Structure 1
């Protein structure tokens, strides 16, 4: 936030009052500039003290009365010895006074300056000592509360807030003093958003999208919600909210432009050709890709599967996608589901793999994966698959879109849409919440859980990849056989 000309921030973080004496008074006073420490690192307190001093000097000069020395006026302002009260309201500042004519004039001048400067309202109450906590320290405390939610979400929240801290520090002059929570204002958040709009994305080099920036500000607003509840920031409006808003329509259009793209059948034939699959050396990477092709499940939903998640329901062999077990998380509550296993996956040996691992005393379907990886256990398979696409097969996304393991999810949804599979069945099969990514409308889908038998009958015909020449089961089986 840009400081007014009468307020100076020293290298130690302490604010000083600076007043340039008008030329006609420089001789009588023997001073050209008055500069005194306000003895505070609190921007709001310093601002008000400086305005009191500035207004009193202005009134004193107008009346020709400079009886009080600079130091006397300073002590008066710092001790709060003023005969008027400034009240912050939603539409600016007002004044209550019972003082002398001179103090009345000074009070009115203070309010005029406050409203002209647009000083942030803080509710009239002085900031508590807890608001002097350093921003970095508050972030560190907040980070210890981020223990719930999906695997990546806590890290994404912390990354966004740390980005704000780094930006704020970069805008300050060199100073050993750290930014205090109480010094932050809505203007800081607004300027951070402006800087994000001018920052190129690492992947494309193009400006960051509004949807991305909105997500960052949402994480920052959660931090300030916590800070206000914890007493580290004055309660009131969240200063991180309201700076950017993206409509649902704009989000959908942006998602279509820069989001995950489905694979074409010709591309799928290249991916699931024997030489291409063999190029992914680990069976776990091959299995994750193959299961994704038939289920549309997210890569981490597949990679975190436990042997206990494979069940027989009403005579149908199924996969139960759930948070039950160790090292698991799901994107939403609607992600939990039980789906039938496609006959092609059984023919490739998926159920036999489960039985073999059970005999070996394992609990995970892919025990060789790293379950504490930042991007989840699918991190390894994701990298292997991306390497296959870019380096081996030279398959690239169109325009600004993306392709990878998540493209199988889009592919499965599109195939079922083209196959006229009902929305209720699609939602039950892929685990979307409210059909959000399935159709253009955002109407919720409610009803009883669909049985595996019904799901198989409704969804499998649209996912007959063998009949389309994508998966040649007999030829690929050796790639999934025990080593």
Structure 2
């Protein structure tokens, strides 16, 4: 095929990249013109005339015709010329350059395809093989695409995306209800948002979630700029103001809450470890419900990091019992994922966990030839094992009388961070233990040195320095 002809969707097109000095005048980065045929032979005959028409459009815009390309398409003179006039002079040049000679049966100048549509470009981005998305990341982009296309329109030419489109998207995000797809399955996101305008106390997604959608869209548009589908990012700098200060979003559990949690029947004797976990009794279950909160308090690990642990992730490194937080599995598990690159880390096991029998529990799981440390935790619809446990923990805290505003399972991580501060643990070591990001690279600098004895020892010494003095768990030592 000659340069400038391409096949898309089973049809042939003329594709012309607009010269840089004409982009502002033309109002486009690319011009696509349908040749209205799936026959290569017919397309080759039509190509010179249609390509010449595109060149004429660019020339008129560049040299002051005073009309945009869209206006030119509505110009009767252009239409008449495209159908009946002899080929303009540069048709001959195109024929000579491409070796293709047309027979004059060019189609009507009635459609201009300006590069891929918004929906097509988004699909191309999501399916870009160079990205290497995790399933979770890919799903988040698919979700954002659904919302964005409902507002902007999947058929909108990518080259037409403007600041106005993005502001419309922001306005929908501002009023988007929680769980919109489940609550309003027959409504589009825009319609669901419009419905919330009339609610007195609407239940909306958080500002943080709204900004996550906006960041996701902006990342896609940055990719589009790099792919030369747009010449700038119209979403740049747009964010919804968050009225909640970052440090006020989640609180650590108070000493009183921790006392209620770890003195609940599950820890001091319950009917059973299943439905009877909140009913006083004589059973002391050693299961995920028992160990996951204790691990969170003493390691600062995220809920899903704990729930997805393999038995093999509990190992002795230089004689020190440790938890290896990693996305890869030594036993073939395919459900593990980490939040950031810094999340990969080694966490020495706190002496309190050892005294409570955690290593004995791990050994029992290993003897049972189980792959997962907490095999009873089932993966959620998207593979995350934390989903069901998070729902159960919310009920558990409520029944224990420990429910307070701005606290949730993640509060254990805040307790761990506060304990690191109170124990005056070196900042870099603290960041390494918690898997928090250090620096603009988004990586944990200390974690890159794991594997050497003195590093493990330093981490172990730091963990040993955590006293948790305000939390009495002596009743759990049996």
Common topology (TM > 0.5):
yes
For residue 197 of structure 1, the aligned residue among 149, 174, 192 is 174
1:411 to partner: Cα distance: 0.6
Counterpart CA distance in 1 for 2:54 and 2:138 is 44
Counterpart CA distance in 2 for 1:164 and 1:425 is 41
1:407 and 2:411 correspond: yes
Write the mapping of 1:467-482 to structure 2, written as runs, cut at 5 A: 468-474=470-476
In structure 2, the CA distance between the partners of 1:286 and 1:149, relative to structure 1 (3 Å rule), is: farther
Match of 1:40 in 2: none
1:293 to partner: Cα distance: 0.9
1:383 and 2:378 correspond: no
Match of 1:234 in 2: 229
**In 1, are the aligned partners of 2:292 and 2:306 still within 8 Å (CA)?**
yes
1:364 to partner: Cα distance: 1.3
Match of 2:163 in 1: 186
In structure 2, the CA distance between the partners of 1:459 and 1:186, relative to structure 1 (3 Å rule), is: same
Counterpart CA distance in 1 for 2:303 and 2:338 is 11
Match of 1:322 in 2: 326
Q: Deviations over 1:259-311 (max 9, x none)?
A: 22111111101001141545378821221111001100111111111122111
**In 2, are the aligned partners of 1:288 and 1:381 still within 8 Å (CA)?**
no
**In 2, are the aligned partners of 1:148 and 1:154 still within 8 Å (CA)?**
no
1:343 to partner: Cα distance: 2.1
Question: SS in structure 1 opposite 2:321?
Answer: strand
**In 2, are the aligned partners of 1:323 and 1:329 still within 8 Å (CA)?**
yes
For residue 266 of structure 1, the aligned residue among 244, 252, 256 is 256
In structure 2, the CA distance between the partners of 1:84 and 1:411, relative to structure 1 (3 Å rule), is: closer
Q: Deviations over 1:446-477 (max 9, x none)?
A: 59556333333323333x34x534323546x5
For residue 154 of structure 1, the aligned residue among 138, 159, 165 is 138
Counterpart CA distance in 2 for 1:361 and 1:444 is 33
In structure 2, the CA distance between the partners of 1:443 and 1:428, relative to structure 1 (3 Å rule), is: closer
1:370 and 2:378 correspond: yes
Match of 1:101 in 2: none
Q: Deviations over 1:91-126 (max 9, x none)?
A: xxxx525xxxxxxxxx34x47x99xxxxxxxxxxx9
Structure of higher RCO (CA pairs closer than 8 Å, 6+ residues apart): 1
Q: Deviations over 1:205-228 (max 9, x none)?
A: 477666544332221123334556
Q: How many residue pairs are counted as aligned between the two chains?
A: 348
Question: SS in structure 2 opposite 1:339?
Answer: strand
For residue 222 of structure 1, the aligned residue among 219, 223, 245 is 219
In structure 2, the CA distance between the partners of 1:212 and 1:358, relative to structure 1 (3 Å rule), is: closer
1:377 to partner: Cα distance: 1.0
1:190 to partner: Cα distance: 2.2
Match of 2:294 in 1: 290
**In 1, are the aligned partners of 2:304 and 2:386 still within 8 Å (CA)?**
yes
- Consecutive unaligned residues of structure 1, counting only runs of 5 or more, are 1-42, 49-77, 88-94, 98-106, 115-125, 170-176, 437-441, 478-483
1:241 to partner: Cα distance: 2.7
Match of 1:57 in 2: none
Counterpart CA distance in 2 for 1:210 and 1:234 is 29
1:354 to partner: Cα distance: 2.0
In structure 2, the CA distance between the partners of 1:79 and 1:339, relative to structure 1 (3 Å rule), is: closer
**In 2, are the aligned partners of 1:299 and 1:405 still within 8 Å (CA)?**
yes
Counterpart CA distance in 1 for 2:371 and 2:58 is 73
Match of 2:94 in 1: none
1:256 and 2:233 correspond: no
For residue 96 of structure 1, the aligned residue among 48, 60, 63 is 63
Query: Over aligned residue pairs, what C-alpha RMSD do you find?
Result: 4.1
1:166 and 2:150 correspond: yes
